[in-house]
Amino acid sequence: MTVLRDRDTTFTSSVDEVFAGDDIQVLEIPPQATRANACAERRSTRQARNAPTGC
């Protein structure tokens, strides 16, 4: 699994370590990449629509 996040100072290396402990890869979007956030939102919406329901 992969988590995309921005470079906000709210997210520290300790947050990345928590994800790494669960084998989740953290990818930071490039600085000043306004379109990257929109692309990430479209991808997550598409994945949510295709996710199996009734678990």
* Residue 14, both tokens: 């300790």
Give the count of beta carbons closer than 10 Å to the beta carbon of residue 34: 7
Is 6 contained in some domain?
yes
Contact status, residue 31 vs residue 9, Cβ threshold 8 Å: no
Q: How confident is the model at residue 53 (pLDDT cuts 50, 70, 90)?
A: low
pLDDT score at 34: 67
Is 29 contained in some domain?
yes
**pLDDT tens per residue, range 14-52:** 888 888 888 888 887 777 666 766 777 777 777 777 777
Is 55 contained in some domain?
no
pLDDT score at 42: 79
Alpha carbon distance 44, 42 (integer Å): 6
Give the count of beta carbons closer than 10 Å to the beta carbon of residue 50: 7
Residue-range definition of the domain harbouring residue 33: 2-50
Alpha carbon distance 2, 12 (integer Å): 17
pTM of the model: 0.44
Is 7 contained in some domain?
yes
